[in-house]
Amino acid sequence: MRLSPLTIKKIRRFKSIKRGYWSLIIFALMVTLSLGAELLVNRRALIVHYQGRYYFPVYGRMLPGKTFGLDYNYETNYRKLAKVFASRHAGDWVLMPVVPYGPYENDLKPNRYPPFAPSFADRHFLGTDTIGRDVLARLVYGFRIAVFFSLALLAANFLIGVSIGSAMGFWGGKFDLFFQRIIEIWSNVPFLYVIIIISSIVVPNFFMLVVIMALFGWISITWTIRTMAYKEKAREYVLAARAMGASDLRIIFRHIIPNTVAIIVTFAPFAVSSGIISLTSLDYLGFGLPPPTPSWGELLQQGWANLDAWWIVASVIVAMVITLLTVTFIGEAVREAYDPRMHTTYE
Amino acid sequence: MNTTAAGEIILDIRHLSTVFKTDEGRLPAVTDVSFSLGKGRTLGLVGESGCGKTVTALSIMRLLPQPAGQIVAGRILFDQMDLVRLPADRMRRVRGGRIAMIFQEPMTALNPVQPIGRQLREMFLLHAGGLSPAAMRRRCIDLLQRVGIPEAQRRLEDYPHQISGGMRQRVMIAMALSVAPEILIADEPTTALDVTVQAQILALIDDLQQAEGMSMIFITHDLGVIAEICDDVVVMYAGQVVEMASVTRLFRTPRHPYTQGLLASIPRLEHPAKSRLETIPGMVPGLAEMPAGCRFINRCPHAFLDCKTPPPLVDLGDGHSARCFLYGSGRESGA
């Protein structure tokens, strides 16, 4: 596929906005790393060398302790296994990830009570939370959930918003009026109460939460796309397409929506950041994803309740600031790259 | 009446009336228009802005702005079908496939976010299903070459903003001709272009029409263009047909005072230098304040008492007719 020269121009312009460009690189790196989080932050070992054989327990079935000559049938504790191997001097070894803790795992110590402060010796780089789970592990897995949650939410919102919005703008008339009233009524339903009521009846899982939030999130993009579709519909190429015998749906999908892509792309980064914020705040209030799902909101709430364990609150806040800042910078740069007023310069 | 000088009729418009519903009520944009297009012939539709030329064309295509524009009476007969009453899905197959239209503004009539090759291909997808992608590509290149676009192969990937206005109009023509329509409606296709390009595009349209044996309705306000490429002429004024004739008759013996005024207002080489440019005094009446009688009454140099009642279209023989009381005793003919 050949990119349109205008698109190339926009990409070049985006790259020239250094803040946004670097934010994109950082954010993309963070997302990529979080996709491979199991290789970086995991209670399972990366490689185990035992009696001449290699094991790769990261992805795959649970390996019981007996596999490695231990005396239990539940999942191997690889950190202890490493110590056992080290004391035996039999040439066996274990390679652990950088952070050798899982997000659900309580690392308790005799005669001490969590939260434990950050410690490089224990490899709890950001300490543990109030029940001994590694903060970094929960941050990383929580980030992954939050990002994919907001991407799923964005996809759902835009799917509903773009289809209804372009239909409203394109067909106009009674159809448009009807949906306008529906939206006005619907947008007066208090979102937070609905969430509270629903999550007091059923514990929402990931997809349910996406669906519930999409029920309330499609409205703003719908208005915007409606306006754009109205504008595009009046342009002559739509009449020309009609004169060529194109059907309404074909005109909407082949002509009008591609012409609103600028708006969709410009909205997307801001939608991602607002998605992260809403999930975090719902989790903070305890109405989001059920515990023990790793979540920034839940960490924030713990940290707020235990301010003397400052590392919890500090880590979450730093992580949130970095994430939201990069996403917002990306959004700003995209918006600027798409700004038509910037394209009147001659090269 | 309504037979053209030669041969078979392909499109017959009878008593077409189109109104626009607005806040000021129903405005008659086109009233009782009848004319017919002979097969393989070019019919010119002339008149000043707002006289209903474009509305007539859009009525034929059933593309009036919705929901305001509506055909309230009349029939448009094409291939034993009445286009006014044709179901929407069948009308869609007629549009583009059998009756194509090109527009005034080549700048805006192409989708700005799609390469022109893709837009051309769309015509084949809509009306000539079953072509392989390679065959479609070949036909697109062939079409672009036929409308005189150099380096057609490379141009397929170009976006509309990368080519000039004249080129864009050529692309529009290529799109209109891609599936060999029987009728081409050209709505002021050269108005937005500069004069040298205008001549090229006119010559191109003329050539292609001859080659394809297509019939054409050519809408313009430029009598010079009419003289150049049309066989028959329909002169419209304030939503009505005021005169129609073959092009030679119309230019030699214009009958309706409006047509006479139009012809007189063309500057001519034989006019003495710096002489005053002829104009038709007054303004076209607005759609809301149409006079009850002859619609040209307020600007007509010959207006008399009879003109307070609507004049009929008087048959002057040989396919020539004019809507004026100056000719004939009046009521025996009509539209």
Ordered DSSP codes for A185-199: HHTTS-HHHHHHHHH
List the single range of A22-31, A183-192, B264-273 with lowest mean pLDDT. B264-273
SS (H, E, C) chain B: CCCCCCCCEEEEEEEEEEEEEECCEEEEEEEEEEEEEECCCEEEEECCCCCCHHHHHHHHHCCCCCCCEEEEEEEEEECCEECCCCCHHHHHHHECCCEEEECCCCCCCCCCCCCHHHHHHHHHHHHCCCCCHHHHHHHHHHHHHHCCCCCHHHHCCCCHHHCCHHHHHHHHHHHHHCCCCCEEEEECCCCCCCHHHHHHHHHHHHHHHHHHCCEEEEEECCHHHHHHHCCEEEEEECCEEEEEEEHHHHHHCCCCHHHHHHHHCCCCCCCCCCCCCCCCCCCCCCHHHCCCCCCCCCCCCCCCHHHHCCCCEEECCCCCEEECCCCCCCCCCCC
Instruction: Determine the pLDDT at residue A121.
Output: 81
Separation CA B279–CA B282 (nearest Å): 9
The pLDDT of residue B329 is above 60? no
Please report residues of A whose CB lies closer than 8 A to that of B162: 5
Chain B residues close to A250, C-beta within 8 Å:
126
Chain A residues with beta carbon closer than 8 angstroms to that of B61: 242-243
Per-residue pLDDT at B335: 38
CB contact under 8 A, B96 and A245: yes
Residue B23 has pLDDT above 90, yes or no: no
Helix H or strand E encompassing A311: helix A310-338
How many contacts, defined by CB atoms under 8 Å, are there between A and B? 75
Identity of the residue numbered A99: V
Give the residue extent of every domain in chain B: 106-180
Residues A344, A338: contact at Cβ < 8 Å?
no
Chain A residues 161-180 with a CB less than 8 Å from chain B: 173
The interface predicted TM-score (ipTM) is 0.81
What average pLDDT does the segment A188-214 reach? 87
Q: A237 and B93 in contact by Cβ < 8 A?
A: no
* Chain A residue with Cα closest to B115: A4
Task: For residue B274, give the 3-state DSSP assignment.
Answer: coil
A4 CB within 8 Å of a chain B CB: yes
Q: Higher-confidence residue: A26 or B301?
A: A26
Question: Is pLDDT at B275 greater than 80 in this prediction?
Answer: no
**B-chain residues within 8 Å CB-CB of A255?**
111, 114
Average pLDDT, chain A: 88
What is the pLDDT averaged over residues B26-35? 89
What gap in Å lies between CA A138 and CA A293, rounded to an integer?
9
Residues B256 and B243: beta-carbon distance below 8 Å: yes
Q: What is the pLDDT of residue A64?
A: 86
What pLDDT is stored for residue B82 in this prediction?
92
What single letter denotes the amino acid at residue B217?
Answer: I
- Which DSSP letter does residue B33 get? E
When pLDDT is averaged across residues A295-312 and rounded to a whole number, the result is 90
Is residue B130 pLDDT above 80, yes or no? no
Query: Range(s) for CATH 1.10.3720.10 in chain A?
Result: 5-35+137-344
Give residues 122 to 181 of B whose Cβ lies within 8 Å of A. Answer: 122-123, 126-127, 157, 159, 161-162, 172, 175-176
Chain-chain contact of A243 with B63 (C-beta, under 8 angstroms): yes
Q: What confidence tier does B334 reach under pLDDT thresholds 50, 70, 90?
A: very low
Asked whether the predicted pLDDT for residue A347 surpasses 70, the reply is: no
The structure's pTM equals 0.80
Q: Is A249 on the interface with B (CB under 8 A)?
A: no
CA atoms within 13 A on the CB side of B158: 18
Q: How far is CA B31 from the centre of its chain?
A: 16
Distance between CA A334 and CA A17 in Å, rounded?
9
C-alpha triplet B197, B203, B208: angle, nearest 5°: 125
* Whether residue A137 has pLDDT greater than 80: yes
Residue of A5, A173, A247 with shortest CB distance to B162: A5
Cβ contact B78:B185 at 8 Å = no
Strand order in the sheet with A53-55: A53-55, A47-50, A93-95
In this predicted structure, the answer to whether residue A99 has a pLDDT above a threshold of 50 is yes
pLDDT digits (tens, 9 = 90+) for A215-267: 988 998 999 999 999 988 888 889 888 888 888 899 999 889 988 888 888 88
Radius of gyration of chain B (CA): 21
Q: How confident is the model at residue B217, as a pLDDT? A: 94
Q: Which residue has the higher pLDDT, B329 or A15?
A: A15
pLDDT tens, position by position, B40-55: 899 999 988 888 888 9
What does the alpha-carbon distance between residue B335 and residue B333 come to, in Å, rounded to a whole number?
Answer: 7
Edge to edge, the sheet with strand B69-78 lists B25-38, B9-22, B69-78, B81-82
Instruction: Give me the CATH code for the A5-35+137-344 domain, please.
Output: 1.10.3720.10
pLDDT digits over A38-95, tens only?
Answer: 889 888 888 888 888 888 888 888 888 888 888 888 888 888 888 888 888 788 888 8
Put simply, the answer to whether A4 touches B115 (Cβ < 8 Å) is yes
pLDDT in tens, B238-269: 889 999 999 999 999 998 999 988 888 887 77
Tokens of A30: 């963070």
Q: What is the pLDDT of residue B2?
A: 43
Give the C-alpha separation, B55 to B16, whole Å: 11
Mean per-residue pLDDT for B153-160? 87
Asked if the C-beta of A246 comes within 8 angstroms of chain B's C-beta atoms, the answer is yes
Of A68-72, A153-157, A168-172, A250-254, least confident by mean pLDDT is: A68-72
Q: Which of B180, B190, B218, B202 is nearest to B56 (CA)?
A: B218
Cβ of B113 within 8 Å of Cβ of A241? The answer is: no
Quick check: A255 contacting B, CB < 8 Å? yes
Lookup result for tokens 């918006």: A335
Mean pLDDT of chain B: 85
Q: Looking at residue A197, what is its pLDDT?
A: 87
Q: Is the pLDDT of residue A107 over 90?
A: no
The alpha-carbon gap from A324 to the nearest alpha carbon of chain B, in Å, equals 32
Tell me whether residues A237 and B111 touch, CB distance under 8 A.
yes
Residue B330 DSSP one-character state = S
The DSSP output letter for A2 is: P
In this complex, is the C-beta atom of A244 within 8 Å of any C-beta atom belonging to chain B? yes
Q: What is the pLDDT of residue A342?
A: 53
Any CB–CB contact under 8 A between A340 and chain B? no
Q: Which residues of B touch A175 (CB under 8 A)?
A: none
Return the amino acid letter for A5.
Answer: P
Q: How confident is the model at residue B5 (pLDDT cuts 50, 70, 90)?
A: very low
Hey, is the C-beta of A235 within 8 angstroms of any chain B C-beta?
Answer: yes
Q: How many beta carbons lie within 10 A of that of residue A29, not counting itself?
A: 11
Shortest CB distance from A244 goes to which of B66, B114, B175? Answer: B175
Q: Which residue of A has its CA nearest to B125?
A: A246
pLDDT in tens, B157-199: 888 888 888 888 889 888 888 888 999 999 988 887 888 888 8
In this complex, do A245 and B103 lie within 8 Å of one another by their Cβ atoms? no
